A = this chain, B = another copy of it.
Amino acid sequence: MQEILDRIVAKARGHARRGRPASYIPALSRARRDLLGVSVFTLDGRTYHAGDHDRPFTMQSISKVFCLACVLKLRGDRAVFALVDREPSGDPFYSLVLLEYENGRPRNPMINAGAILITSLLPGRTSAAKFAHYMRFLEGVLPGKKLDIDPRVYASEFETGQRNRALGCLMKHFGVLQSATEDAVDAYFRQCSVRVTCDDLARMGLFLAGRGVDPITGRRVIAEGHCKTINALMATCGLYDASGDFAHRVGLPGKSGVGGGILAIAPGKMSVAVYGPALDPKGSSVAGFEALEMLSQELELSLYL
């Protein structure tokens, strides 16, 4: 296995040339393009990693998965899916178009509008209280580690996140958002700015491979039904308008972030995290996507065969 990972990292790293680090957040655009890390945590307790697996990066949209888990646990799926749908949108992650046509109801919790709405459901009136609650959940699935945010990335998000504010205002207009706009949007920016490594991320995803139970601590993190819901959403909507391509090439529930990370879940088997900051035009790590495709093929992980 270790040998497979080493080989994949060596081969996939070259693909980074086809991509570019996220440019819309200045603090992300300076990342070195040729970084590539992989980390694997299996359900039966083994861990493997290769390349830049201990290099920190910001979670960005991958946080949507954990915020959803946290809110599903708190509010239940009935309350959550009364406000947001769970269908692929066919649109880029940032789009306002469907949100207007569909009266402020986001298509799914994996696009930005959906994630801001889910964030508005976190307990606490202020952005700080919401974020603190989320962080407690996150640290619960990554025992023994203290997480923090990258202040420069957060500052960038805060300053440049006008499109996300527009989504928040539009949902507020339709009476869908469940907190003050700025609180939901700011708490969302903070989540996006949390720093993790591949090792952290693969560890954090382990409960999603384990039917909602963390196999290392033995603790049930979320209900089995919520785990199924989250994996189904990642499988159909996790890479926005590249979700079909991901299903085709990797065949696993996955979630990418413009920080360069991708989390992929092989239910019943393992949790995998990759990191490579050069992105394709749809916002996913080029080399990371490539590495996951190779890994899925080598280990026959695709759910669709």
- A interface residues with partner B (beta carbon < 8 Å): 85-91, 95-98, 100-101, 107-108, 160, 162-163, 165-170, 172-173, 181, 211, 224, 227-229, 231-233, 235-237, 241-245, 247-248, 251, 253, 267-268, 302-305
Cβ-defined contact, A89 with B90, below 8 A: yes
Cβ-defined contact, B162 with A88, below 8 A: no
Minimum CB–CB distance from A162 to chain B (whole Å) comes to 4
Cβ-defined contact, A268 with B305, below 8 A: yes
> Could you tell me the distance between the alpha carbons of A21 and B11 in the complex, rounded to whole angstroms?
51
Which of B100, B165, B244, B267 has a CB less than 8 Å from the CB of A233?
A: B244
Cβ-defined contact, A244 with B86, below 8 A: yes
**Top 5 closest pairs, chain A to chain B, by CB:** A90-B90, A88-B88, A166-B169, A231-B304, A162-B173
Minimum CB–CB distance from A168 to chain B (whole Å) comes to 8
Minimum CB–CB distance from A107 to chain B (whole Å) comes to 7
The residue in chain B whose Cβ has the minimal distance to the Cβ of A230 is B304
A172 / chain B contacts, CB cutoff of 8 Å: 162
List 16 extra interface pairs beyond A160-B173, A165-B166, CB under 8 A. Answer: A86-B248, A90-B107, A95-B100, A162-B169, A163-B169, A163-B173, A166-B167, A166-B170, A228-B248, A228-B302, A228-B304, A232-B244, A232-B248, A233-B244, A233-B248, A235-B247
A242 / chain B contacts, CB cutoff of 8 Å: 87
A95 / chain B contacts, CB cutoff of 8 Å: 100
Which of B85, B160, B167 has a CB less than 8 Å from the CB of A244?
A: B85
Minimum CB–CB distance from A88 to chain B (whole Å) comes to 3
Minimum CB–CB distance from A102 to chain B (whole Å) comes to 10
The residue in chain B whose Cβ has the minimal distance to the Cβ of A91 is B90
The residue in chain B whose Cβ has the minimal distance to the Cβ of A304 is B231
Cβ-defined contact, B244 with A108, below 8 A: yes
> Could you tell me the distance between the alpha carbons of A107 and B304 in the complex, rounded to whole angstroms?
20
Cβ-defined contact, B229 with A248, below 8 A: yes
Choose among A162, A170, A251 the residue with the greatest number of B CB atoms under 10 Å from its CB.
A162
A108 / chain B contacts, CB cutoff of 8 Å: 244
The residue in chain B whose Cβ has the minimal distance to the Cβ of A296 is B228
A163 / chain B contacts, CB cutoff of 8 Å: 169-170, 173
The residue in chain B whose Cβ has the minimal distance to the Cβ of A249 is B232
> Could you tell me the distance between the alpha carbons of A88 and B248 in the complex, rounded to whole angstroms?
12
Cβ-defined contact, A232 with B304, below 8 A: yes
> Could you tell me the distance between the alpha carbons of A242 and B87 in the complex, rounded to whole angstroms?
7
* A-B contact list, 26 entries, CB within 8 Å: A86-B248, A87-B242, A87-B243, A88-B90, A88-B236, A88-B244, A89-B90, A90-B107, A96-B96, A96-B100, A96-B170, A97-B97, A165-B166, A166-B166, A166-B169, A224-B305, A228-B304, A228-B305, A231-B304, A232-B302, A232-B304, A233-B248, A235-B247, A235-B304, A237-B244, A267-B304
